[in-house]
Amino acid sequence: MRFDLVISNGTIATASDVFSADIGIKDGIIVQIGGEMGEAAQTIDAAGKYVLPGGIDSHVHIAQPSGEGIVMADDFESGTRSALFGGNTTVLPFCLQKKGRPLREALTAYHALAKGNCYTDVSFHLIVSDPSEAVLGQELPALVEDGYTSFKVFMTYEDLRLSDAQILETMDVARRTGALVMVHCENEDAIRYLIGRHEADGTVAPKAHATTRPIAVEREATHRAVSLAEVADVPLVIVHVSNREAMEEIERARRRGRKVIGETCPQYLMLTADDLDGMDWEGAKFVCSPPPRDTASQAACWDGLERGVFELFSSDHCPFRYDDPAGKLNPKGSRSFRHIPNGIPGVELRLPILFSEGVMKGRIDLPRFVALTATNQARTYGLYPRKGTIAVGADADIAIWDSTLTRTVRHADMHDGADYTPYEGRELTGWPTTVVLGGKIMVHEGELLGSKGDGTYRSRGRSQYATPTQEQSFET
């Protein structure tokens, strides 16, 4: 066979093995691993490098409507370009339902924004903000059939939060259709109460974002989410977990036999609430929800990555420009923490952070890195085994890593649409140098060779975890 591309002499890592072999690619698919390689139109010599499945980032926000006068810093072009340079080949952004409107309407608009503009493959989760009878009864089940097999619900944000009753009804659709529910766990009423107290004593600086969303707020909501999932008998994903107490809720649910998938993110390993206490308004750069905690919580999240409390490591990339009234600077003409848009950029540094601070520092091994960043992501969200691993028959989505490269993070070197990175000045060792998407070399030695439009929309199958744990019968 004449290959389109051969990647030779590299050290391949999957979620279970590390081994040396060449990879032969034809028509966008991995067709041979190891053995005698035939001729190839193109060859990449990966000697001395690691050859990993392309990263899958299942938690990114791109071009998501974010409230009046607020504009997200990334569209599909800049967001997926940034993802690509960070070693990713697939991202899963959220498509947000407008209140009172069908989900299809949001999807049509979202597809139009993505089409022809992506440097990575994309697939969409749905955010259910208005679970009306029509949405729950007809629309959502039909969308699951069409390959939108996961949806996120919020327990916080005044305009997005669902009541417990609405969450149960949405979970019930997941139970009946085999979809997977993701939950943002923070108690909105408790946050409102604390915001009131802060405002009463004139506390308005960015740091108050952290003190109005303390650990108890996240812990209580996590407990409630896993309890509601138990009542509805569905598996669930707890996204962006920031601390040990929320982790303990996940572990306790698992001990009861529940399927609960935990996700954490780079900000909970690298930042603390003290970062929100910067000079002037600088703390706004670190405002995200849940907020970064303290060094003990960072250590807990590392522990959770090692022990398998977390199966997913995602970015929660949610970029707003800092020096911009449509971003973090002066939202609604106000200088109150309340109006700072929530979210920070991270899609380009998710993998380098986990590689440098996790693999290179001996906290996790390479197969665990691959599992957390690609294989488990594909399994959880219905993309496996087409994506998320290096295997014959899989898409040729591959990132080649140089573990000897040390670089200081500079926003000037990044490829997103924001105007800062929360990790400015950090020194990281181990970077992706070549990224291949569907057999096409997209990035090589820092140079962009791919075009926008090379990445395409991918419909998904059901999550392999989305089966009820116990077949509950309500008949007597």
Binding stretches for ligand URP (CB under 6 A): 61, 184, 240, 288-289, 316, 318, 342-343
Q: Residue 386 binds what, of Zn ion, ligand URP, none (CB under 5 to 8 Å, by partner type)?
A: none
Which residue, 162 or 398, is less far from Zn ion as judged by CB? Answer: 162
CB 261 within 8 A of CB 280: no
Which residue, 11 or 66, is less far from Zn ion as judged by CB? Answer: 66
What six digits make up the tokens of 370? 């691959």
Which residue, 318 or 383, is less far from ligand URP as judged by CB? Answer: 318
Cβ 418 to ligand URP shortest distance, Å: 13
Q: Residue 342 binds what, of Zn ion, ligand URP, none (CB under 5 to 8 Å, by partner type)?
A: ligand URP
How far is it, in rounded angstroms, from Cα 328 to Cα 338? 11
Which residue, 59 or 379, is less far from ligand URP as judged by CB? Answer: 59
- The structure tokens 């896993």 sit at 226
Cβ 415 to Zn ion shortest distance, Å: 7
220 binds Zn ion (CB under 5 A): no
At 276, the amino acid letter reads L
DSSP secondary structure of 291-321: PP--HHHHHHHHHHHHHTSEEEE---B----
How far is it, in rounded angstroms, from Cα 300 to Cα 103? 37
Cβ 67 to ligand URP shortest distance, Å: 12
How far is it, in rounded angstroms, from Cα 420 to Cα 282? 11
Which residue, 240 or 259, is less far from ligand URP as judged by CB? Answer: 240
Which residue, 60 or 366, is less far from ligand URP as judged by CB? Answer: 60
How far is it, in rounded angstroms, from Cα 141 to Cα 462? 12
Residues 445-474 that bind Zn ion (CB under 5 A): none
98-115: b or e for each residue (b if 16 or more CB lie within 10 Å)?
A: eeeebbeebbeebeebbe
- The structure tokens 């990114």 sit at 60
Q: Residue 416 binds what, of ligand URP, Zn ion, none (CB under 5 to 8 Å, by partner type)?
A: Zn ion
Please list, in sequence order, all residues whose beta carbon lies within 8 angstroms of the beta carbon of residue 259, skipping any fewer than 6 positions away: 235, 236, 465, 469
Which residue, 210 or 428, is less far from ligand URP as judged by CB? Answer: 210
Cβ 154 to ligand URP shortest distance, Å: 7
Residues 85-144 that bind Zn ion (CB under 5 A): none
How far is it, in rounded angstroms, from Cα 397 to Cα 383? 12
Cβ 94 to ligand URP shortest distance, Å: 8
Neighbouring C-beta atoms of residue 187, cutoff 10 Å: 21
Cβ 339 to ligand URP shortest distance, Å: 14
Residues 314-373 that bind Zn ion (CB under 5 A): 316
Which residue, 316 or 357, is less far from Zn ion as judged by CB? Answer: 316
Cβ 316 to ligand URP shortest distance, Å: 5
Cβ 200 to Zn ion shortest distance, Å: 27
184 binds Zn ion (CB under 5 A): yes
Q: Residue 350 binds what, of Zn ion, ligand URP, none (CB under 5 to 8 Å, by partner type)?
A: none
Stretch that binds Zn ion, among 176-184, 297-305, 423-431, 462-470 (CB under 5 A): 176-184
Site string for Zn ion, 398-437 (x = CB under 5 A): ------------------x-x-------------------
Cβ 416 to Zn ion shortest distance, Å: 4
How far is it, in rounded angstroms, from Cα 293 to Cα 272? 5
Strands, sheet with 18-20, edge to edge from the N-terminal-most edge strand: 18-20, 11-13, 50-53, 398-408, 427-437, 440-444, 447-448
DSSP secondary structure of 104-132: HHHHHHHHHHHTT--SSEE--EEE-S---
Which residue, 24 or 345, is less far from Zn ion as judged by CB? Answer: 345
Q: For residue 274, what is the DSSP state?
A: G
